[in-house]
Structure 1
Amino acid sequence: MANQQTMLYQGVHIPRPVLNVDLHVLPDFTGRVVLYIENGKVKCDRRLLEEEHICALDTFIEMAREMELRIQEVAGGTDSDTNS
């Protein structure tokens, strides 16, 4: 019989996969954490601050358009000197 420890996969109940994760937060931490997982292993984790939000690039562009923001591409990199 199925329970919380199994899941139905292609008509068969199998054990749920478990990912043990060591988070780098204090024991009394309450909040959001982003995990980067590669091949089933956690490569890094990062706490999100209250004012931080995550979305896909297309969602960000859609939100910017709804707010009538204009996004303009800037030539050069962060180290380009426009005064030379």
Structure 2
Amino acid sequence: MSEIAIEVSHLHKDFGEVYAVRDVSFSVPKGAIFSLLGPNGAGKSTTISMLACLLRPTQGEATVLGHSVTREPRAVKSLLGVIPQEIA
């Protein structure tokens, strides 16, 4: 069984009455190539922002190489680099 690099479990992000991400769960094995695909407004950037500790999830949990994005953001940030294609 392969080691899990990213684990996302029932992740949610709300902005007031707007639900940007609702109940997203997935895992990515270490060494895998993984992508998030979907139309504009589907929550891809919000999900990546939560994984990079730029946004705090409303509920749910995510880990990067075993480090919690909510309880260990410094450890997660030291492991990741995010460069958007376009800056809004």
TM bin, normalised by shorter chain, reads under 0.3
Relative to its length, the structure with more strand (as a share) is: 2
**TM-score where L is the length of structure 2:** 0.24
User: Computing the radius of gyration over CA atoms, which structure comes out larger, 1 or 2?
Assistant: 1
**TM-score where L is the length of structure 1:** 0.25
